[in-house]
Amino acid sequence: MRRRLFAVAYVAAAVVALAFLLIPIVAIFAHSSPRHLVEQLSNPVVTDAAKVTIKTSVVAQLLILLFGTPAAFLLASRRFPGHSLAITLVELPLVLPPAVAGIGLLAAFGHFGLLGSSLEWLGITLPFTQTAVTLAVAYVASPLYIRQAIAAFESTDPNLAAASRTLGASPARTFFRVILPLARGGLIAGLALSFARGVGEFGATIMFAGSLQAVTQTFSLAIYAEFSRNFDATLAMSGVLVLFSIVLLAGLHIGLTWQRSSSTGSTSLFGLTTSS
């Protein structure tokens, strides 16, 4: 009898938990008719937000790939003084409240900020521009990619890099032909996480870039702005983001499966170790 009660109790708890997670998602699509939602997608607020979101997200993720990948490889393969400090630095934006990140960006790149006068001298104004959105997204999202990339590089077998070198390959060829393909899955997973975080960015963006339609207003900001004016438009945008999230989640799982199947061990820079 007791055993029976226990089984019923934990199955019921699981049902409640899953339902709680699912109901809001269903509600987004159930609130208005699908036709009505699709119509809303041609609303200028929605199309502008879509353009801003796509443009800033893509540029931000490209920047993250371009600078984050070498940074992650360096942190994964070399031990240097200040290494753990650098790791902490990478992780800091993850725990930092986004509003604080926004204030920090403003204090650094704003008119009266730390680097503001130097930027002004160069004729560059950042706050409340689309570039500011890109920077805010890159700032809050990059740690997710870099952390995952460090783990991916660390899990490639250092002997494979060493073998590549003894077979006559330069460090660059070793990186592109051996290390990168083996870490690929982990990098894709990291990029999916970073993309999701970047698209959902709100706090830092509104602080540093504001919410100007067609300039800095991303989906997340537009959902908030349209909330009291046109509820159906917010539902339509939310629906788009739900579908986007599902696609990203699939990418994340594919990436992680690849990573598991392709590597073991831990890495050192191109398989080289020094004896000092």
Binding site for another protein (CB under 8 A): 157, 159-160, 162-170, 177-178, 181-182, 262-263, 271-276
Joined tokens for residue 91: 């992780």
Look up residue 154 and give its two tokens. Answer: 């660390």
Give Cβ neighbours of residue 173 (< 8 Å, ≥ 6 apart): 164
What gap in Å lies between CA 245 and CA 262, rounded to an integer? 26
Minimum CB distance to another protein, residue 276 (Å): 8
CB of 173 to another protein, least distance (A): 8
Question: Are the beta carbons of 235 and 179 closer than 8 angstroms?
Answer: no
Report the residue number, 129 or 262, with the smaller CB distance to another protein.
262
At 32, give phi and psi (nearest 5°).
-125, 170
Shortest separation between residue 251's beta carbon and another protein, angstroms:
19
Residue (142 or 155) nearer to another protein, CB: 155
Q: Rounded to 5 degrees, what are φ and ψ at 217?
A: -85, 105
Compare residues 178 and 191 and give the one whose CB is closer to another protein. 178
CB 51 within 8 A of CB 214: yes
Q: How far is the CB of 264 from another protein (least distance, A)?
A: 9
Of 42 and 166, the one with the shorter C-beta distance to another protein is 166
Cβ–Cβ < 8 Å for 226, 233: yes
For the beta carbon of residue 26, count every other beta carbon within 10 angstroms: 11
100 or 272, CB closer to another protein? 272
Q: Return d(Cα 158, Cα 8) in angstroms, integer.
A: 50
In angstroms, what is the minimal distance from the CB of 58 to another protein? 28
The nearer residue to another protein, 104 or 185, going by C-beta atoms, is 185
For residue 185, what are its two tokens?
A: 């899955």
For the bound state, the minimum distance from the C-beta of residue 157 to another protein, rounded and expressed in Å, comes to 7
